Amino acid sequence: MPSQREIRRRIGSVKNIKQITRAMQFVAASKLKRAQDATLQSRPYREKLDEVLADVAAVLSNGDHPLLARREGGARLLVLFTTDRGLAGSLNTNTIRYASREIAESTGDLKVVTVGRKGTAAMRRAQVPIAAAFDGFGDKPDFASVLPLARLITDDYLAGTYSRIDLVHPRFVSTLVQRPVAEQLLPIVPAEDTAGIPGNQFLWEPGASAVLEQLLPRYVATRLFQAVLETTASEQSSRMVAMRNATDNAQELIEDLTLTYNKVRQANITREMIEIATGASIA
């Protein structure tokens, strides 16, 4: 059985860990509200943009624009979104596992663009070809930060490097639930059921193709920015829950160690009293 000194030392160490996890829980909780609001507020914009693209695509055939045309064969690109830091529960593990299933089920050539250091490290360990690697965009991502990534993806697709580009990222559902999802980015698949007015009822100036050329950069960047916001909100909520659980576990461990300490202390006192009584009787 450990000594009282060893138990006191363990109790002190666990208390220090509890202070750290509790502080991290409060920090994540303070950041979660901002990240959650940004994510929920951006979803209607993305949905309306999908409606506009559906209106434009209604007067174009798949062959009228390279971003609408479906290509046979060719390489596939996955854009994987994870976090830069750990201590976020199972968020990164679930997302990477989901991406690994997508990679295993894919036929033909496949490459990955990673956003976040955790995803980059996982893909390197799995020896998956990485076309480009980006660090995360911080706790306060802005729209301008995703533009280099959007230009890279668009240019590669227009150059014929890839036949399909998909996004894999965690989707923020609630504080307790974040689910990894895969969404097709390119070629653009306009929504079939939208609340917008069919595009063939509009007169397009200078033309539907020209309008699409202007909408495309905004569309790709918006989809990527939405994925970044979803990942940020998921990270903060997952970290807050993980640190809260860690704090609760530390408190339970402190209570167990305190009980053990009291038992050892009582046993030592009893032993000393027996030794004193035994010595007195002998004397």
Q: Do residues 176 and 241 touch, judged by C-beta distance below 8 A?
A: yes
CA gap 92, 136 in Å, rounded: 13
The pLDDT, as a whole number, for residue 14 is 92
Q: Which 3 state secondary structure label does DSSP give 162?
A: strand
Q: Which two tokens stand for residue 249?
A: 């576990």
Q: Which domains does the chain have, with CATH numbers?
A: 23-241 (3.40.1380.10)
Q: Do residues 223 and 167 touch, judged by C-beta distance below 8 A?
A: yes
CA gap 235, 38 in Å, rounded: 14
The pLDDT, as a whole number, for residue 197 is 52
Q: Is 119 exposed, middle or buried (0-12, 13-18, 19+ CB in 10 A)?
A: buried
Point out which residues pair with 112 in neighbouring strands. Answer: 78, 130
pLDDT tens for the 283 residues of the chain, in order? 678 888 889 999 999 999 999 999 999 998 998 899 999 999 998 888 877 777 776 666 555 566 666 777 778 999 999 999 888 889 999 999 999 999 998 888 899 999 999 999 999 999 999 999 998 888 888 899 999 999 999 888 888 888 889 999 999 998 889 999 999 988 877 666 545 455 456 677 777 777 777 787 888 899 999 999 999 999 999 999 999 999 999 999 999 999 988 888 888 788 777 777 777 666 5
The pLDDT, as a whole number, for residue 280 is 64
The pLDDT, as a whole number, for residue 89 is 86
